[in-house]
Amino acid sequence: MTLTELEKLISAKKPIHLSGIGGVSMRALAELLLDMGACIQGSDRERSPFTDRLEQLGARIFIGQRESNVEGAAAVIRTAAVLDQNPEIIAARRLGLPVVERGQAWGLLMGRYGHSVCIAGTHGKTSTTSMVATFAQSAGLDPTVMVGGELSSIGGGTLRIGKRDLFVAEACEYKNSYHSFSPTIAVILNIDRDHLDFFSDTDDIIASFRHFASLVPADGIVIANRDDPNTMRAVEGLNRRVMTFGLLPGADVTAQNIVCDKGFYSFDVVSSGSLWCRLALSVPGEHNLSNALAAAACAICLNVPPQAFADGIAAYRGVGRRFESKGKYHGALLFDDYAHHPSEIEATLKAARSMEPARVICIFQPHTYSRTISLREEFAQALSHADVCVITDIYASREINTAGINGHYLSELIPGAVNVAGFSEARQFIEQNARAGDIIFSMGAGDVWRIWDGFPAE
Protein backbone atom coordinates (compact mmCIF):
# COMPACT_ATOMS: atom_id res chain seq x y z
CA MET A 1 0.00 0.00 0.00
CA THR A 2 1.18 3.52 -0.81
CA LEU A 3 0.49 6.74 1.06
CA THR A 4 -1.76 7.84 -1.78
CA GLU A 5 -3.79 4.61 -1.51
CA LEU A 6 -4.09 5.01 2.26
CA GLU A 7 -5.21 8.63 1.91
CA LYS A 8 -7.84 7.55 -0.62
CA LEU A 9 -9.25 5.03 1.89
CA ILE A 10 -9.34 7.77 4.51
CA SER A 11 -11.05 10.35 2.31
CA ALA A 12 -13.60 7.75 1.10
CA LYS A 13 -14.36 6.76 4.72
CA LYS A 14 -13.58 3.11 3.98
CA PRO A 15 -13.25 1.10 7.24
CA ILE A 16 -9.65 0.37 8.24
CA HIS A 17 -9.32 -2.49 10.75
CA LEU A 18 -6.48 -2.43 13.31
CA SER A 19 -5.75 -5.89 14.70
CA GLY A 20 -4.34 -5.47 18.23
CA ILE A 21 -5.63 -1.90 18.48
CA GLY A 22 -5.08 -1.61 22.24
CA GLY A 23 -1.26 -1.85 22.05
CA VAL A 24 0.86 1.22 22.69
CA SER A 25 1.88 1.91 19.10
CA MET A 26 -1.39 0.67 17.58
CA ARG A 27 -3.65 2.86 19.68
CA ALA A 28 -1.49 5.89 18.82
CA LEU A 29 -1.78 4.96 15.15
CA ALA A 30 -5.56 4.66 15.51
CA GLU A 31 -5.77 8.12 17.10
CA LEU A 32 -3.70 9.72 14.35
CA LEU A 33 -5.82 8.07 11.64
CA LEU A 34 -9.01 9.18 13.38
CA ASP A 35 -7.66 12.73 13.50
CA MET A 36 -7.09 12.49 9.74
CA GLY A 37 -10.76 11.62 9.31
CA ALA A 38 -10.42 7.86 8.83
CA CYS A 39 -13.16 5.35 9.61
CA ILE A 40 -11.41 3.15 12.17
CA GLN A 41 -12.33 -0.16 13.74
CA GLY A 42 -10.17 -2.65 15.58
CA SER A 43 -9.89 -5.58 17.93
CA ASP A 44 -8.01 -6.59 21.04
CA ARG A 45 -7.94 -9.53 23.41
CA GLU A 46 -9.54 -7.60 26.25
CA ARG A 47 -11.18 -4.29 26.98
CA SER A 48 -9.00 -1.56 28.52
CA PRO A 49 -9.09 2.17 29.23
CA PHE A 50 -7.35 2.58 25.87
CA THR A 51 -10.00 0.74 23.88
CA ASP A 52 -12.65 2.71 25.78
CA ARG A 53 -10.94 5.97 24.79
CA LEU A 54 -10.79 4.92 21.14
CA GLU A 55 -14.51 4.15 21.24
CA GLN A 56 -15.16 7.63 22.61
CA LEU A 57 -13.12 9.05 19.72
CA GLY A 58 -15.31 7.23 17.23
CA ALA A 59 -13.62 3.88 16.62
CA ARG A 60 -15.60 0.63 16.54
CA ILE A 61 -14.02 -1.88 18.93
CA PHE A 62 -14.28 -5.69 18.93
CA ILE A 63 -13.19 -7.59 22.03
CA GLY A 64 -11.70 -10.91 20.92
CA GLN A 65 -10.31 -11.66 17.48
CA ARG A 66 -12.58 -13.45 15.05
CA GLU A 67 -12.84 -13.77 11.27
CA SER A 68 -16.15 -11.91 11.25
CA ASN A 69 -14.47 -8.76 12.67
CA VAL A 70 -12.87 -7.86 9.33
CA GLU A 71 -15.95 -8.31 7.15
CA GLY A 72 -16.69 -4.99 5.50
CA ALA A 73 -13.19 -3.60 6.12
CA ALA A 74 -11.16 -2.19 3.22
CA ALA A 75 -7.74 -2.91 4.75
CA VAL A 76 -6.16 -4.47 7.84
CA ILE A 77 -3.25 -3.08 9.84
CA ARG A 78 -1.71 -5.51 12.31
CA THR A 79 0.76 -5.35 15.18
CA ALA A 80 3.81 -7.63 15.23
CA ALA A 81 2.17 -9.95 17.76
CA VAL A 82 -0.70 -10.75 15.35
CA LEU A 83 0.60 -13.65 13.29
CA ASP A 84 -0.58 -15.18 10.01
CA GLN A 85 -2.50 -17.84 11.98
CA ASN A 86 -4.69 -15.19 13.61
CA PRO A 87 -8.32 -15.60 12.46
CA GLU A 88 -8.52 -11.96 11.39
CA ILE A 89 -5.49 -12.31 9.12
CA ILE A 90 -6.82 -15.60 7.72
CA ALA A 91 -10.10 -13.84 6.90
CA ALA A 92 -8.34 -10.82 5.41
CA ARG A 93 -6.32 -13.05 3.07
CA ARG A 94 -9.43 -14.94 2.05
CA LEU A 95 -11.27 -11.69 1.31
CA GLY A 96 -8.32 -10.30 -0.65
CA LEU A 97 -7.82 -7.35 1.70
CA PRO A 98 -4.45 -5.59 1.91
CA VAL A 99 -2.69 -6.53 5.18
CA VAL A 100 -0.34 -3.78 6.31
CA GLU A 101 2.24 -4.16 9.09
CA ARG A 102 2.12 -1.55 11.85
CA GLY A 103 5.60 -0.28 10.94
CA GLN A 104 4.58 0.09 7.30
CA ALA A 105 1.59 2.20 8.30
CA TRP A 106 3.74 4.50 10.43
CA GLY A 107 6.28 4.75 7.62
CA LEU A 108 3.60 5.83 5.17
CA LEU A 109 2.31 8.52 7.53
CA MET A 110 5.84 9.83 8.19
CA GLY A 111 6.03 10.66 4.49
CA ARG A 112 3.55 13.48 5.16
CA TYR A 113 6.06 15.37 7.35
CA GLY A 114 8.98 17.65 6.54
CA HIS A 115 11.33 16.01 9.07
CA SER A 116 11.06 12.62 10.77
CA VAL A 117 13.30 11.93 13.77
CA CYS A 118 13.21 8.16 14.40
CA ILE A 119 14.88 6.99 17.60
CA ALA A 120 16.06 3.38 17.73
CA GLY A 121 18.18 1.29 20.08
CA THR A 122 17.85 -1.79 22.23
CA HIS A 123 17.54 0.41 25.33
CA GLY A 124 16.44 3.97 26.04
CA LYS A 125 14.13 4.53 23.05
CA THR A 126 11.12 5.71 25.03
CA SER A 127 13.08 7.99 27.35
CA THR A 128 15.07 9.61 24.55
CA THR A 129 12.03 10.00 22.29
CA SER A 130 10.30 11.68 25.24
CA MET A 131 13.25 14.03 25.78
CA VAL A 132 13.20 15.02 22.11
CA ALA A 133 9.43 15.54 22.22
CA THR A 134 9.74 17.71 25.35
CA PHE A 135 12.46 20.02 24.03
CA ALA A 136 10.77 20.23 20.61
CA GLN A 137 7.63 21.57 22.27
CA SER A 138 9.66 23.92 24.46
CA ALA A 139 11.36 25.28 21.33
CA GLY A 140 7.99 25.90 19.64
CA LEU A 141 8.42 23.26 16.91
CA ASP A 142 4.90 21.85 17.48
CA PRO A 143 5.92 18.22 16.77
CA THR A 144 3.74 15.23 16.08
CA VAL A 145 4.97 12.57 18.52
CA MET A 146 4.63 8.79 18.76
CA VAL A 147 6.22 7.37 21.91
CA GLY A 148 6.06 4.02 23.69
CA GLY A 149 5.12 5.32 27.14
CA GLU A 150 2.73 7.69 28.86
CA LEU A 151 4.35 11.13 28.61
CA SER A 152 2.93 13.97 30.72
CA SER A 153 4.39 16.72 28.54
CA ILE A 154 2.19 15.59 25.61
CA GLY A 155 -0.93 15.28 27.76
CA GLY A 156 -0.22 11.97 29.47
CA GLY A 157 -0.64 9.77 26.40
CA THR A 158 1.53 8.13 23.74
CA LEU A 159 0.58 10.44 20.87
CA ARG A 160 0.73 14.16 20.26
CA ILE A 161 -0.66 15.58 17.04
CA GLY A 162 1.08 18.74 15.88
CA LYS A 163 1.88 20.40 12.58
CA ARG A 164 3.31 18.53 9.60
CA ASP A 165 6.84 19.95 9.89
CA LEU A 166 8.27 17.50 12.44
CA PHE A 167 7.46 13.90 13.35
CA VAL A 168 9.25 12.37 16.38
CA ALA A 169 8.90 8.61 16.63
CA GLU A 170 10.14 5.71 18.69
CA ALA A 171 11.49 3.06 16.30
CA CYS A 172 11.40 -0.59 17.44
CA GLU A 173 13.71 -3.19 15.94
CA TYR A 174 11.53 -6.23 16.74
CA LYS A 175 10.69 -8.07 13.51
CA ASN A 176 12.48 -5.23 11.68
CA SER A 177 9.35 -3.08 11.98
CA TYR A 178 11.42 0.12 11.75
CA HIS A 179 12.63 -0.89 8.27
CA SER A 180 9.36 0.54 6.97
CA PHE A 181 9.96 3.94 8.60
CA SER A 182 11.00 7.07 6.68
CA PRO A 183 13.55 8.87 8.87
CA THR A 184 15.31 12.04 7.85
CA ILE A 185 17.23 11.78 11.15
CA ALA A 186 17.90 8.23 12.37
CA VAL A 187 19.17 7.81 15.94
CA ILE A 188 20.88 4.63 17.20
CA LEU A 189 21.27 4.69 20.99
CA ASN A 190 22.86 1.25 21.43
CA ILE A 191 22.71 -2.30 20.06
CA ASP A 192 22.48 -5.27 22.42
CA ARG A 193 21.46 -8.93 22.29
CA ASP A 194 17.68 -9.07 22.48
CA HIS A 195 14.64 -10.46 20.64
CA LEU A 196 16.54 -13.66 20.00
CA ASP A 197 13.25 -15.32 19.15
CA PHE A 198 13.53 -13.31 15.91
CA PHE A 199 17.19 -12.35 15.39
CA SER A 200 19.73 -15.16 14.93
CA ASP A 201 22.66 -13.49 16.69
CA THR A 202 24.34 -10.14 17.42
CA ASP A 203 25.60 -9.79 13.84
CA ASP A 204 22.03 -10.17 12.60
CA ILE A 205 20.89 -7.40 14.97
CA ILE A 206 23.73 -5.10 13.87
CA ALA A 207 22.81 -5.69 10.22
CA SER A 208 19.21 -4.77 11.02
CA PHE A 209 20.25 -1.45 12.58
CA ARG A 210 22.58 -0.74 9.65
CA HIS A 211 19.66 -1.12 7.26
CA PHE A 212 17.60 1.23 9.45
CA ALA A 213 20.39 3.82 9.28
CA SER A 214 20.58 3.48 5.49
CA LEU A 215 16.93 4.56 5.20
CA VAL A 216 17.80 8.23 5.69
CA PRO A 217 18.00 10.16 2.42
CA ALA A 218 21.31 11.35 1.01
CA ASP A 219 20.90 14.68 2.80
CA GLY A 220 19.73 13.04 6.04
CA ILE A 221 21.69 12.44 9.23
CA VAL A 222 22.45 9.34 11.31
CA ILE A 223 23.11 10.00 15.01
CA ALA A 224 25.13 7.18 16.62
CA ASN A 225 26.45 6.33 20.09
CA ARG A 226 30.25 6.65 20.00
CA ASP A 227 30.49 4.71 23.29
CA ASP A 228 28.77 1.58 21.93
CA PRO A 229 30.98 -0.69 19.76
CA ASN A 230 28.03 -2.46 18.13
CA THR A 231 26.50 0.86 17.08
CA MET A 232 29.79 1.99 15.58
CA ARG A 233 30.01 -1.30 13.67
CA ALA A 234 26.52 -0.66 12.30
CA VAL A 235 27.44 2.75 10.86
CA GLU A 236 31.01 1.97 9.78
CA GLY A 237 31.50 3.01 6.14
CA LEU A 238 27.86 4.04 5.83
CA ASN A 239 27.26 6.35 2.88
CA ARG A 240 25.41 8.88 5.01
CA ARG A 241 26.40 11.77 7.25
CA VAL A 242 27.03 10.37 10.75
CA MET A 243 27.04 12.50 13.90
CA THR A 244 28.26 10.76 17.06
CA PHE A 245 27.51 11.37 20.73
CA GLY A 246 29.08 9.94 23.87
CA LEU A 247 31.89 10.27 26.37
CA LEU A 248 34.69 8.58 24.42
CA PRO A 249 37.25 10.80 22.64
CA GLY A 250 36.17 11.73 19.14
CA ALA A 251 32.43 12.08 19.79
CA ASP A 252 30.89 15.06 18.00
CA VAL A 253 28.58 15.78 20.93
CA THR A 254 29.97 15.05 24.39
CA ALA A 255 29.71 16.00 28.07
CA GLN A 256 32.31 17.81 30.15
CA ASN A 257 32.48 19.14 33.72
CA ILE A 258 30.13 16.38 34.86
CA VAL A 259 28.67 16.64 38.36
CA CYS A 260 26.56 13.89 39.96
CA ASP A 261 24.42 14.78 42.98
CA LYS A 262 22.79 11.65 44.42
CA GLY A 263 22.17 10.19 40.98
CA PHE A 264 21.18 13.42 39.18
CA TYR A 265 23.66 14.71 36.59
CA SER A 266 24.55 18.19 35.41
CA PHE A 267 27.16 18.82 32.71
CA ASP A 268 28.30 20.95 29.81
CA VAL A 269 27.14 19.82 26.38
CA VAL A 270 30.06 20.29 24.00
CA SER A 271 29.50 20.20 20.24
CA SER A 272 32.48 19.91 17.87
CA GLY A 273 34.78 21.12 20.64
CA SER A 274 32.74 24.17 21.67
CA LEU A 275 30.44 24.69 24.65
CA TRP A 276 26.84 24.49 23.46
CA CYS A 277 24.90 24.65 26.74
CA ARG A 278 24.91 23.66 30.40
CA LEU A 279 22.38 20.95 31.22
CA ALA A 280 20.82 19.82 34.50
CA LEU A 281 18.77 16.61 34.38
CA SER A 282 15.63 16.06 36.44
CA VAL A 283 15.80 12.27 35.98
CA PRO A 284 18.48 10.09 37.64
CA GLY A 285 21.09 7.78 36.19
CA GLU A 286 24.14 7.78 33.94
CA HIS A 287 22.05 6.18 31.19
CA ASN A 288 19.96 9.35 31.09
CA LEU A 289 23.12 11.41 30.62
CA SER A 290 23.74 9.36 27.47
CA ASN A 291 20.11 9.76 26.37
CA ALA A 292 20.36 13.53 26.87
CA LEU A 293 23.47 13.69 24.66
CA ALA A 294 21.54 11.88 21.92
CA ALA A 295 18.71 14.38 22.35
CA ALA A 296 21.23 17.24 22.16
CA ALA A 297 22.54 15.88 18.86
CA CYS A 298 18.95 15.89 17.55
CA ALA A 299 18.47 19.48 18.71
CA ILE A 300 21.67 20.57 16.96
CA CYS A 301 20.53 18.90 13.72
CA LEU A 302 17.15 20.68 14.00
CA ASN A 303 18.84 24.05 14.68
CA VAL A 304 17.18 24.42 18.08
CA PRO A 305 18.66 27.28 20.15
CA PRO A 306 20.82 25.92 23.02
CA GLN A 307 18.83 27.62 25.78
CA ALA A 308 15.50 26.37 24.41
CA PHE A 309 16.96 22.86 24.46
CA ALA A 310 18.31 23.23 28.01
CA ASP A 311 14.97 24.58 29.26
CA GLY A 312 13.10 21.72 27.62
CA ILE A 313 15.34 19.01 29.07
CA ALA A 314 15.21 20.60 32.53
CA ALA A 315 11.41 20.30 32.32
CA TYR A 316 11.58 16.62 31.40
CA ARG A 317 10.44 14.61 34.42
CA GLY A 318 10.43 11.17 32.86
CA VAL A 319 7.82 8.96 31.26
CA GLY A 320 5.37 6.40 32.55
CA ARG A 321 6.94 3.16 33.79
CA ARG A 322 10.49 4.57 33.64
CA PHE A 323 11.63 5.11 37.25
CA GLU A 324 8.04 6.17 37.91
CA SER A 325 7.31 7.14 41.51
CA LYS A 326 4.57 5.16 43.25
CA GLY A 327 4.78 7.01 46.56
CA LYS A 328 6.17 5.95 49.93
CA TYR A 329 5.52 3.14 52.39
CA HIS A 330 6.98 2.95 55.90
CA GLY A 331 9.67 5.45 54.82
CA ALA A 332 10.65 3.47 51.69
CA LEU A 333 10.46 5.09 48.24
CA LEU A 334 8.39 3.06 45.76
CA PHE A 335 9.03 2.99 42.00
CA ASP A 336 7.88 1.14 38.90
CA ASP A 337 10.16 0.57 35.92
CA TYR A 338 9.78 -1.06 32.49
CA ALA A 339 13.32 -2.52 32.47
CA HIS A 340 13.15 -6.07 31.11
CA HIS A 341 16.59 -6.64 29.57
CA PRO A 342 19.70 -7.20 31.71
CA SER A 343 21.39 -4.00 30.51
CA GLU A 344 18.29 -1.95 31.37
CA ILE A 345 17.93 -3.62 34.77
CA GLU A 346 21.58 -2.93 35.60
CA ALA A 347 21.32 0.73 34.51
CA THR A 348 18.17 1.30 36.57
CA LEU A 349 19.49 -0.44 39.69
CA LYS A 350 22.79 1.44 39.44
CA ALA A 351 20.87 4.71 39.17
CA ALA A 352 18.93 3.74 42.28
CA ARG A 353 22.17 2.87 44.07
CA SER A 354 23.61 6.30 43.22
CA MET A 355 20.73 7.86 45.17
CA GLU A 356 22.34 6.39 48.31
CA PRO A 357 19.44 4.33 49.71
CA ALA A 358 19.68 2.00 52.69
CA ARG A 359 18.73 -0.94 50.45
CA VAL A 360 17.51 -1.54 46.90
CA ILE A 361 14.71 -4.12 46.66
CA CYS A 362 13.62 -5.33 43.22
CA ILE A 363 10.38 -7.19 42.50
CA PHE A 364 11.17 -8.53 39.00
CA GLN A 365 8.79 -10.13 36.53
CA PRO A 366 10.71 -11.90 33.71
CA HIS A 367 9.29 -11.11 30.27
CA THR A 368 8.93 -13.97 27.75
CA TYR A 369 10.34 -17.47 28.05
CA SER A 370 12.76 -17.07 25.13
CA ARG A 371 14.40 -13.96 26.60
CA THR A 372 14.63 -15.56 30.06
CA ILE A 373 16.33 -18.65 28.61
CA SER A 374 18.72 -16.89 26.20
CA LEU A 375 19.84 -14.23 28.73
CA ARG A 376 19.55 -16.22 31.96
CA GLU A 377 23.12 -15.64 33.18
CA GLU A 378 22.98 -11.95 32.26
CA PHE A 379 19.70 -11.51 34.16
CA ALA A 380 21.20 -13.07 37.28
CA GLN A 381 24.23 -10.77 37.07
CA ALA A 382 22.11 -7.64 36.54
CA LEU A 383 19.70 -8.44 39.35
CA SER A 384 22.62 -8.92 41.74
CA HIS A 385 22.81 -5.11 41.89
CA ALA A 386 19.75 -5.23 44.14
CA ASP A 387 20.19 -6.02 47.83
CA VAL A 388 17.00 -8.07 47.79
CA CYS A 389 15.57 -9.69 44.65
CA VAL A 390 12.02 -11.05 44.46
CA ILE A 391 11.08 -13.02 41.32
CA THR A 392 7.50 -13.44 40.12
CA ASP A 393 6.38 -15.94 37.51
CA ILE A 394 7.30 -15.27 33.86
CA TYR A 395 5.06 -13.02 31.77
CA ALA A 396 4.35 -15.00 28.60
CA SER A 397 3.38 -12.11 26.30
CA ARG A 398 3.20 -13.58 22.79
CA GLU A 399 4.81 -16.94 23.72
CA ILE A 400 3.80 -20.44 24.81
CA ASN A 401 5.78 -22.11 27.61
CA THR A 402 7.15 -25.02 25.59
CA ALA A 403 10.26 -25.18 27.83
CA GLY A 404 8.22 -25.69 31.02
CA ILE A 405 10.12 -23.05 33.01
CA ASN A 406 8.97 -20.60 35.70
CA GLY A 407 10.44 -17.95 37.97
CA HIS A 408 12.57 -20.54 39.80
CA TYR A 409 14.57 -21.03 36.58
CA LEU A 410 16.02 -17.56 37.15
CA SER A 411 15.90 -17.18 40.93
CA GLU A 412 18.04 -20.28 41.57
CA LEU A 413 21.01 -18.38 40.08
CA ILE A 414 20.57 -15.37 42.40
CA PRO A 415 21.81 -15.81 45.99
CA GLY A 416 19.06 -15.05 48.49
CA ALA A 417 16.39 -14.47 45.84
CA VAL A 418 12.77 -14.97 46.87
CA ASN A 419 10.05 -16.44 44.65
CA VAL A 420 6.45 -15.29 44.92
CA ALA A 421 3.42 -17.08 43.52
CA GLY A 422 1.52 -13.93 42.57
CA PHE A 423 1.13 -10.21 43.08
CA SER A 424 -0.73 -10.52 46.37
CA GLU A 425 2.26 -12.40 47.77
CA ALA A 426 4.58 -9.70 46.36
CA ARG A 427 2.54 -7.01 48.11
CA GLN A 428 2.75 -9.00 51.33
CA PHE A 429 6.52 -9.19 50.99
CA ILE A 430 6.75 -5.40 50.59
CA GLU A 431 4.44 -4.76 53.56
CA GLN A 432 6.51 -7.06 55.77
CA ASN A 433 9.99 -5.96 54.63
CA ALA A 434 9.88 -2.24 53.68
CA ARG A 435 12.06 -0.05 55.88
CA ALA A 436 12.85 3.66 56.02
CA GLY A 437 15.54 4.57 53.48
CA ASP A 438 14.81 1.68 51.11
CA ILE A 439 14.13 2.04 47.40
CA ILE A 440 11.68 -0.61 46.18
CA PHE A 441 11.02 -1.35 42.51
CA SER A 442 8.44 -3.30 40.60
CA MET A 443 10.25 -4.09 37.36
CA GLY A 444 9.45 -5.71 34.02
CA ALA A 445 7.64 -5.20 30.71
CA GLY A 446 4.56 -7.21 31.65
CA ASP A 447 1.87 -6.33 34.18
CA VAL A 448 4.02 -6.23 37.33
CA TRP A 449 2.89 -2.62 37.83
CA ARG A 450 -0.40 -4.06 39.07
CA ILE A 451 1.37 -4.72 42.38
CA TRP A 452 0.64 -1.11 43.26
CA ASP A 453 -3.10 -1.35 42.54
CA GLY A 454 -4.72 -0.81 45.93
CA PHE A 455 -1.36 -0.78 47.71
CA PRO A 456 -1.49 1.45 50.84
CA ALA A 457 1.24 3.84 49.67
CA GLU A 458 1.46 7.36 51.08
Average pLDDT over residues 269-282: 97
Confidence of residue 83 (pLDDT cuts 50, 70, 90): very high
pLDDT of residue 136: 97
For residue range 88-106, list pLDDT tens digits in order: 999 999 999 999 999 999 9
- The arithmetic mean of pLDDT across residues 432-452, rounded, is 96
Specify whether the CB–CB gap between 301 and 223 falls below 8 A: yes
| pLDDT interval class at 150 (50, 70, 90) | confident
Do 65 and 120 belong to one domain?
no
Residue 223 and residue 128 share a domain = yes
Statement to judge: residues 210 and 300 lie in one domain: yes
Whether the pLDDT of residue 156 is over 90: the answer is no
Residues 225, 209: Cα–Cα separation, whole Å: 12
Question: Does 458 reside within a domain?
Answer: no
In the DSSP assignment, the letter for residue 317 is -
- The per-residue pLDDT for 157 is 85
Report the pLDDT averaged over residues 404-423.
95
Strand pairing category for 39-44 and 60-63: parallel
Q: Is residue 106 part of a domain?
A: no
Q: Kindly report, residue by residue over 111-134, the tens digit of the pLDDT.
A: 999 999 999 999 999 999 999 999
- Could you say which of 263, 286, 314 is where a domain stops? 314
Torsion angle (degrees, nearest 10) of CA 171, 121, 313, 268: -150
Q: What is the pLDDT of residue 453?
A: 93
- Of the candidates 271, 319, 310, 314, the one whose C-alpha atom is nearest the C-alpha of residue 129 is 319
pLDDT band at 149 (very low <50, low <70, confident <90, very high): confident
125 and 220 in one domain? yes
Residue 155: pLDDT band with limits 50, 70, 90 = confident
Residue 153: what pLDDT?
85
Catalytic annotation, residues: 125-126, 170
Question: In angstroms, rounded to a whole number, what is the distance separating the alpha carbons of residues 220 and 213?
Answer: 10
pLDDT at 299: 98
pLDDT at 398 over 90: no
135 and 34 in a common domain? no
pLDDT at 281: 96
Question: What is the separation of C-alpha 258 from the centre of its chain, rounded to a whole number of angstroms?
Answer: 27
Which residue, 42, 72, 101, sits at the end of a domain? 101
Instruction: Report the share of the chain in percent with pLDDT over 70.
Output: 100
Model confidence, pTM: 0.89
How does pLDDT run across 196-234, given as a tens digit for each residue? 999 999 999 999 999 999 999 999 999 999 999 999 999
Task: Please tell me whether residues 174 and 243 are part of one structural domain.
Answer: yes
- Indicate whether 361 belongs to any domain: yes
Residue 36 maps to which CATH number?
3.40.50.720
Compute the average pLDDT of residues 152-172.
92
CATH number of the domain residue 208 falls in: 3.40.1190.10
Flag whether 441 is in a domain.
Answer: yes
Give the pLDDT score at 292: 98
Residues 183, 180: Cα–Cα separation, whole Å: 10
* 407: CATH: 3.90.190.20
Please say whether the beta carbons of 354 and 262 come within 8 A.
yes
Mean local confidence (pLDDT), 318-338:
94
List of residues 6+ apart from 300 with CB closer than 8 A: 243, 253, 271, 276
- DSSP code per residue over 363-404: EE--B-HHHHHHTHHHHHHHHTTSSEEEE-PPB-TT---TT-
Q: In this predicted structure, what is the pLDDT of residue 176?
A: 94
Residue-by-residue DSSP string for 171-226: ---GGGGGGG---SEEEE----S--TTT--SHHHHHHHHHHHHHTS-TT-EEEEET
Residue 178 has pLDDT above 90, yes or no: yes
The pLDDT assigned to 108 comes to 96
Other CB atoms within 10 A of residue 30 CB: 29
Q: What is the pLDDT of residue 298?
A: 98
- Supply the range of the domain harboring residue 391: 324-452
* Dist. CA 155–CA 166, nearest whole Å: 18
| Domain count of the fold of the chain | 3
Regarding whether 262 and 192 lie in a shared domain, the answer is yes
| Residue 120 in domain | yes
Residue 42 identity: G
Average pLDDT rounded to a whole number, residues 163-170: 96
On whether residue 107 sits in a domain, the answer given is no
Computed over every residue of the chain, the mean pLDDT equals 96
